[in-house]
Amino acid sequence: MKEPIKSVDLEFTSLEFYNNYAVSVVKEDTVFSQSQFMTIAEACSDFYNGKKFVYISSRKNNYNVNPTVYVKLEEIRKNLIGIAIVSDKVASLKMAEFERNFSKAEFKIFLELDEAVEWANDLIKKVGR
């Protein structure tokens, strides 16, 4: 994988920004809330500035997601065209399957980060800039 264009370390996550996608690694035992979601959305909006992108959640750590964040996502996802969840943990994969029901954006689950990156780049090509 390439070097990120920009990295941001927030209290609850680290974000790496690439040309077509952002990779987030949420910190251990975080309860991912609406306000944290809005902080990430603002950072992505600032970086991509109207350009289409994919959000990749690399779930290396154990944390919980309030699935209602996906409801708010629909209001602000003008340039977010896809969400990828990456994990090799059974519990995280099951949670991602549940979360998928709440998202209207393209939503895929992967075991490897490289697969998610390939999907993100393909999705950007498919929908255009």
Give the range of the structural domain holding residue 36, as residue numbers without chain letter: 6-127
Residue at 106 is within a domain: yes
Residue at 1 is within a domain: no
Q: CATH code at 40?
A: 3.30.750.24
Residue at 27 is within a domain: yes
* CA separation for the pair 60, 57 (Å, rounded): 9
One-letter amino acid identity for 27?
A: K
pLDDT at 1: 67
Residue at 39 is within a domain: yes
Residue at 54 is within a domain: yes
Residue at 98 is within a domain: yes
How many domains does the chain contain in total? 1
8 A C-beta contact, residue 48 and residue 42: no
pLDDT digits (tens, 9 = 90+) for 18-67: 999 999 998 888 877 888 888 888 899 899 998 999 999 998 887 777 77
pLDDT at 76: 61
Percentage of residues of the chain with pLDDT beyond 90: 47
- Give one word for 90, left, alpha or beta, with left for phi > 0 and alpha for psi -120 to 50: alpha
* CA separation for the pair 117, 123 (Å, rounded): 10
Residue at 47 is within a domain: yes
Residue at 62 is within a domain: yes
pLDDT at 17: 97
| pTM for the whole structure | 0.89
